[in-house]
């Protein structure tokens, strides 16, 4: 991936990882469009970055995604990169069906729907990039967030398969695999010293994205504990350690 000169959409760009990556891509000379459910956080990010654009999008609404995609390619015809960052992470007590369905719709169906709507446009570009955001929990699930963990495992599998489908096209697919990061994704994460500081995660991630060729998976060192547990043969021990307080 070329990390400058793009027109890039970043979903969930009003806070956390999305806002931090929007800052970095904007500073690197990209046209950045951030999207999210709430206008106020988007406006705050744009106010700090003259030239950045923001549009409201509910990733849980299939019809809204179609309208958004049509608007996006009309307003930003040079769009050639999409970062699927939007997601929700909510603790579940056994099976909370409302939480499970909202999580699947936002974290899994949302990126698939938006990709489906935008792929014809991206395929027509000389070079384009789809970036997905999975999680270390795609590889070792967290007991208190079963559906979140499942959606991230699904995003990983989807990313692998779609990368292969797109290998002879102008669209590359890059999967970013975060560890736990100090953001407001869940209550307490931002102040949890067991989480990776956001600035450190962003710096290491951007350095990996600048590599040529860009790795298919962007894995900071901190996530290897989870990402490679099965490969190392210590999955059971890592699962137990991750979930020891449950």
Q: Which residues are catalytic?
A: 148
Helix (H) and strand (E) counts for the chain?
10, 7
Please answer whether residues 89 and 140 qualify as being in contact, where contact means their C-beta atoms are separated by less than 8 angstroms: no
- Starting from the edge strand earliest in sequence, which strands make up the sheet with 31-36, in order? 53-56, 31-36, 7-11, 81-84, 128-133, 171-176, 217-218
Helix axis angle, 146-165 relative to 110-123, nearest 10°? 20
Give the three-state DSSP class for 134.
coil
Query: Which residue is associated with the tokens 């990126």?
Result: 111
Q: How far is CA 115 from the centre of its chain?
A: 13
Pairing of strands 128-133, 171-176: parallel
Euclidean distance between CA atoms 141 and 147, whole angstroms: 9
Shortest CA distance to 181 belongs to which of 164, 153, 204, 214? 204
* Closest C-alpha to 99, from 58, 139, 145, 63: 145
């Amino acid at each position: 991936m070329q990390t400058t000169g793009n027109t890039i959409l970043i979903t969930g760009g009003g806070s956390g990882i999305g806002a931090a990556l929007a800052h970095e891509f904007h500073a690197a000379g990209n046209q950045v469009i951030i999207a999210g459910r709430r206008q106020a956080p988007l406006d705050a990010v744009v106010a700090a970055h003259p030239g950045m654009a923001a549009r409201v999008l509910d990733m849980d609404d299939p019809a809204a995604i179609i309208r958004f995609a049509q608007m996006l390619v009309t307003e930003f015809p040079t769009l050639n990169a999409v970062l699927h960052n939007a997601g929700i992470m909510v603790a579940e007590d056994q099976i909370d069906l409302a939480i499970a369905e909202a999580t699947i719709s936002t974290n899994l169906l949302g990126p698939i729907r938006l990709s489906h709507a935008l792929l014809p446009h991206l395929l027509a570009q000389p070079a384009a990039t789809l970036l997905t955001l999975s999680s270390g929990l795609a590889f070792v699930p967290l007991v208190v967030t079963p559906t979140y963990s499942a959606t991230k495992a699904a995003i990983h599998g989807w990313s692998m398969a779609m990368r292969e489908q797109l290998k002879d096209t102008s669209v590359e697919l890059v999967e970013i695999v975060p560890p736990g990061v100090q953001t407001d994704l869940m209550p307490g994460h931002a102040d949890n010293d067991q989480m990776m500081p956001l600035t450190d995660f962003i710096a290491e991630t951007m350095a990996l994205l600048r590599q040529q060729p860009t790795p298919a998976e962007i894995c900071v060192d901190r996530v290897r504990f989870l990402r490679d547990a099965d490969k190392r043969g210590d999955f059971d021990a890592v699962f137990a350690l991750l979930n020891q307080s449950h």
